[in-house]
Structure 1
Amino acid sequence: MGLRETKKERTREALAAAAMALFTERGYEATTVEDIAAAAEVSPRTFFRYYPAKEDVVSEIFHSGGFDGIVDARPPDEPVIATLRSATFTVLQSCADSPAPALAVLRMVTSRPELSTRLSDAQRARTAALTASVIARLGPDHDPLAARLITSWTLATLDAVLLHWETSDGRLDLLEIGKRAFDQLEPALHCVLGTSCVLGT
């Protein structure tokens, strides 16, 4: 990455960090683009070079875990279900380590209808990127539909775990919720891939 690209990435990260701090402190509604720009020590015009609107900052923060990037960083010979489990718990551990900002983002997502469209678009992009990573790991002998199914189910499970945690105001053990959820999901993933198919009744 060149110097110019590095500077741009740092500015984007500074804007996202400033937005997250202000959203946590003041709330989403009370935070303006001007507030975010001032906290990041840039102009509002610079803000709009990186984000079309305030909603887009929330979308980027919500998906900043880079699930597909985490998957790509795992050993290439690791079984794909183990990879998905590891990536899921990497995201959950990050939220558990910084519960206040994680809960603040989740509350914004669940309480602001105008964020739904932005997050739906980002979710489709996230699912497509992860599906491509899973297809590459499985190789040409596997049905791409299987990759799409296990990708969609894994991301849906992650979202369900996070929202369940948010409804408890963070009082429940996030990693324990994740373990319970993935333990129930994993047999279905194996069944789709044909590695085993022992489902509970």
Structure 2
Amino acid sequence: MADRQAPPGGGQKLRSDTRRNRRRLLEAVGQLARESPDQLTMQAVASRAEIGPATAYRYYSSVEEALEAYVLSVVEELREFSVTSSAQGRPLFDAVVNKWMDLLGEHGAALVRLRSRRGYLERLHSGNETIAATRDAWSEPVRGLLDDIDAPAEMLEYALFLCNIIFDPREVQDLLRETHLSRREVVARLSEAYLGALRGWARAG
């Protein structure tokens, strides 16, 4: 008996279904993180996405894994903005900071839920996909700042470490919610604090 063959285009339809289901699940993660963060479970995500729980678990084994994928998609958007920008130096850094603030405004509720017991550098060195995308998003803007202040290029990894601390989503949102500072003021103060940290690190080295 001849082997059965999939109908033409069957594989393409499967890939299309996979992309659609993943997109719906990640959209559901973001919606629930904003609306009902205490009820963020895989069952709730599947229900919001209108996908059966068994199907949802085929894509993500836990809500933490779904959150990780959601955060990665946000960071990838920042990376795409950064690497395709025509700006350089301080203007590039300012543009990426403002894009990050836009993303925090839209996705911050989900970003702050994902915490790790491991530090930035440990995750970077172990090949964590989200941290690698974060590095790629910020590397060129930060490298431009280092050039502007005549800091050594070898300081880049430490500079990215400091960037991760100062522009942490949880702390940025805390400033916006709990102080009288406007978004523009928060951006200005954090950016200047970051420049000060870079200069201080370079002097200490």
Q: TM tier, shorter chain? A: 0.5 to 0.7
Matched residues, number: 178
Match of residue 35 from structure 2: 25
Report the Cα distance in structure 2 between the residues aligned to 1:148 and 1:192, rounded to whole angstroms: 12
RMSD over aligned CA atoms reads: 4.0
The residue type paired with residue 73 of structure 1 is T
Report the Cα distance in structure 1 between the residues aligned to 2:88 and 2:37, rounded to whole angstroms: 41
Instruction: Return 5+ residue gaps in structure 2 as ranges.
Output: 1-11, 144-150
Please identify the structure whose Cα radius of gyration is greater.
2
SS of 2:99's equivalent? helix
1:35/1:56 Cα in 2 relative to 1: closer, same or farther (>3 Å)? same
The residue type paired with residue 53 of structure 2 is P
SS of 1:116's equivalent? coil
The answer on whether the counterparts of 1:15 and 1:37 sit within 8 Å (CA) in structure 2 is yes
2:176 paired with 1:163: no
1:105/1:12 Cα in 2 relative to 1: closer, same or farther (>3 Å)? same
CA apart distance, 1:42: 1.6
The residue type paired with residue 174 of structure 1 is R
2:59 paired with 1:47: no
The residue type paired with residue 14 of structure 1 is R
The answer on whether the counterparts of 1:34 and 1:44 sit within 8 Å (CA) in structure 2 is yes
The answer on whether the counterparts of 2:29 and 2:70 sit within 8 Å (CA) in structure 1 is no
2:116 paired with 1:116: yes
Deviations 1:146-192 (A, max 9, x none): 22122222222210x64243366466533421221112212554787
Q: Map 1:99-138 to 2 at 5 A.
A: 102=108, 104-105=109-110, 108-109=113-114, 115-117=115-117, 124=124, 125=128, 126-131=130-135, 134=139
1:92 pairs with one of 92, 96, 101 = 101
Match of residue 18 from structure 2: 8
Match of residue 112 from structure 1: none
1:16/1:184 Cα in 2 relative to 1: closer, same or farther (>3 Å)? same
CA apart distance, 1:88: 1.9
Report the Cα distance in structure 1 between the residues aligned to 2:178 and 2:155, rounded to whole angstroms: 34
Instruction: Return 5+ residue gaps in structure 1 as ranges.
Output: 110-114
CA apart distance, 1:121: 9.8
- State percent identity of aligned pairs: 15
SS of 1:88's equivalent? helix
Deviations 1:59-100 (A, max 9, x none): 33345133333321222x722x5433321210102333x4xx
1:143/1:107 Cα in 2 relative to 1: closer, same or farther (>3 Å)? closer
2:85 pairs with one of 74, 78, 88 = 74
The residue type paired with residue 91 of structure 1 is W
The answer on whether the counterparts of 1:165 and 1:171 sit within 8 Å (CA) in structure 2 is no
The residue type paired with residue 56 of structure 2 is F
TM-score, normalised by the number of residues in structure 2: 0.64
The answer on whether the counterparts of 2:120 and 2:164 sit within 8 Å (CA) in structure 1 is no
CA apart distance, 1:122: 11
